[in-house]
Amino acid sequence: MIKKETERKRAVVAAKLRLSRQEEEALRRQATEKHLTVPEKYWSDGRATYYIRLMLLLQTAGQRTARLEEEITVGEDDFGEPDPAQLQQDDAAVILLGYGSESVTQIEDALAALAAGKYGLCEECGKAITSARLEINPCATHCPTCQKWLQRERATAIANASLSQFG
């Protein structure tokens, strides 16, 4: 029973992702221009759009990460001491590098879900995530209802942790 329901949900998501002939041709041209090889199975069920978007995001995140890694240098001032201005810039770059690594992980997770046929399904409730939400955030893993619930849970956990420090 659960397997049939999951298959039905996947079919609904696949139907929403299907492309018109013109959209597919335009997307194939874009993939060729960006030197992306899209698995043929993604063209048949409409996942090509999201695959290309995720791969482009991954390329961009990788380039950004490489630039940040190059920026991190330990400079010295005239007295052989670490340069405070350079240390501040390095600290900022390290923080951004952390965010970049997190983004890469999210993109890779989304690509894995796409390959497994689970892309576009909420990890919490299993319902289809709207295509509008995936357009805004291609790495979305939760429907709006579950996302709100998770945010409330996190906020409650943070508040409880803060209270326990003073309790």
Give Cα 123 distance to the centre of its chain: 14
Domain membership of residue 37 (yes or no) is: yes
Which range of residues forms the domain containing residue 51? 2-121
Phi, psi at residue 128, to the nearest 5°? Answer: -70, 135
Domain membership of residue 97 (yes or no) is: yes
Residues with Cβ within 8 Å of 81's Cβ and at least 6 positions away in sequence, in order, are none
Domain membership of residue 165 (yes or no) is: no
Q: How many CB atoms lie within 10 A of CB 91?
A: 11
pLDDT in tens, 101-110: 678 888 899 9
Decide: pTM greater than 0.75: no
Are the C-beta atoms of 110 and 61 separated by less than 8 Å?
Answer: no
Query: Measured between alpha carbons, how far is 52 from 126 in angstroms, rounded to an integer?
Result: 24
Q: How many domains does the chain divide into?
A: 1
pLDDT in tens, 40-67: 877 777 788 888 888 888 887 777 766 6
DSSP state of 128: B
> Residue 26 corresponds to which amino acid?
A
Domain with residue 89: its CATH number is 1.20.120
Domain membership of residue 147 (yes or no) is: no
